[in-house]
Amino acid sequence: MLSYQHAFHAGNHADVIKHLCWLGVINSLKKKDKPFTLFDSHAGAGCYDFSDAMSSKNKEYETGISRIQNIYADSALLKDYLTLCGTFLTHNNYPGSPAISAVAKREGDTLHAMELHPAEFEKLNTNLYRLKSANTHVHKRDGYQGLRALTPPKPNRGAILIDPPYERASEYSDVIKGVEQVLKRWKQAQIVIWYPLLSARAGAKQGASEVMVDKLAQTGLPCFKAEIKIAPNSEDIGMYGSGVLVINPPWQLDLQLSTALDDVIKDMGEASTAELTWINQDT
Ligand SMILES: C[S@@+](CC[C@H](N)C(=O)[O-])C[C@H]1O[C@@H](n2cnc3c(N)ncnc32)[C@H](O)[C@@H]1O
């Protein structure tokens, strides 16, 4: 059963850390002339209108992009992210991960965006079509099946974003299985996995992200995690922050992301913190 709709959450603090990291990965891939392929296994609708009923219900963007959209950013990555978002925000829209990929990649690079929810898929199709991005493919299919079928790409350069809704507890083990399967065939894949940080209010799901990250680190591949927390871990709030685990991170993404997040949290409220931790250090 698919009930999750990202429009309720678009542009929140979780989108900010996830999209900053994803853009950092794309920017690094662009440093070489060689083409690359991007895979978005859980793409969502692609673009979100802040004035629609879902986005305006809880106005979650007010905990995220709205707080930083007009700041002066020291960090080059944050500047890039805010510039990219700016072109959407002038129309009161926010770019989802597939739109970020479509805009940031070069013409010769390829994007595969996968979405299982029929209505979200229709929106994704329309939104990506509007962006007129070459070599961009949308797939109405299970993201993990799609990754199995489409990886490794040729040439063997690229990155994967895995961003499930985590509504069911089993989705954490789906991520582990999905990543292990990809790595068997494509060991060099740069993989970004977003995860929520949940308090006891989340019941059985509390701690599931931490277990998933530990398990994924056992691949032994270079990886770091970056997290922002916007509130203390207490039952007052279900999701008190979120993080990204980056497997095979590009050179210096750790520095770029931590500088960007240090800038971001200055405007995310007094309780906010950001931390980047290497789990398996690149040698
Ligand atoms: C968190 S949203 C994605 C947001 C998007 N990545 C972004 O950052 O803009 C998760 C999406 O995954 C979709 N989904 C859930 N299970 C899926 C699966 N097995 N394969 C593909 N899509 C799935 C949901 O319908 C939902 O639209």
Quote the CA–CA distance of 91 and 270 in Å, as a whole number. Answer: 30
Give the Å distance between the CA of 217 and the centre of ligand 1. Answer: 23
Between the CA of residue 211 and those of 69, 149, 205, 208, what are the distances in Å?
34, 27, 10, 5
Q: pTM of the predicted model, to two decimals? A: 0.97
User: Which of 1, 47, 114, 116 best tests ligand 1's pocket when mutated (most atoms within 8 Å of CB)?
Assistant: 116
Give the Å distance between the CA of 268 and the centre of ligand 1. Answer: 25
Q: Which residue's CA is the closest to the ligand 1 atom numbered 6? A: 43
**3-state helix, strand and coil shares in percent for the chain, rounded to the nearest 5:** 45, 20, 35
Please, what are the domains in the chain?
6-280 (3.40.50.150)
Average pLDDT (94-108) is 98
Express each pLDDT in 79-97 by its tens digit. Answer: 999 999 999 999 999 999 9
User: Which residue out of 80, 109, 163, 254 is catalytically annotated?
Assistant: 163
163 noted as active-site residue? yes
CA 95 to ligand 1: nearest atom: 9
Q: What angle do CA 2, 48, 40 make, to 5 degrees?
A: 60
| pLDDT band, very low/low/confident/very high, at 282 (cuts 50, 70, 90) | confident
| pLDDT band, very low/low/confident/very high, at 3 (cuts 50, 70, 90) | confident
DSSP element (H, E) containing 142 = none
Quote the CA–CA distance of 92 and 163 in Å, as a whole number. Answer: 23
Report the percentage of the chain scoring pLDDT > 90. Answer: 94
**pLDDT of 186 strictly over 70:** yes
